[in-house]
Amino acid sequence: MGLQHEPHEAASNGPVVRTERVVRYKECRKNHAASVGGYAVDGCREFMASGEEGTSDALRCAACDCHRSFHRREVETVAAVCGCSSDEHSTPRR
């Protein structure tokens, strides 16, 4: 459904804060009338992948058949706090 997750961890002396970027691809902005000097979009409201992740079809929208790059990219950062200390994450285990 056009979501990508990119996990990140922030180092601190207290609880570990883990942030995750959620990427969504919204409405299609491809100008279908550009070749005739006009402006017309198809009305596709959200990117829906045509195929499985890792295939070339994953970058093509099932609704409008455009490449994902024509859809407006929206990034949201979500933070989650882990109840453990940062020492547990920074100390290598043997």
Question: Closest Cα partner for 31 from 17, 20, 42, 46?
Answer: 42
- pTM score, whole prediction: 0.64
30-80 per-position pLDDT tens digit: 999 999 999 999 999 999 999 999 999 999 999 999 999 999 999 999 887
Rounded Cα–Cα distance for residues 78 and 56 (Å): 28
pLDDT computed for residue 52 by the predictor: 95
What's the domain range around 11?
4-90
DSSP 2-47: --EEEEEEE--SSEEEEEEEEEEEEEE---TTGGGT--------S-
Work out whether strand 4-10 and strand 15-28 pair parallel, antiparallel, or are unpaired: antiparallel
Q: What is the count of structural domains for the chain? A: 1
Residue with tokens 């859809």, as numbered in its chain = 71
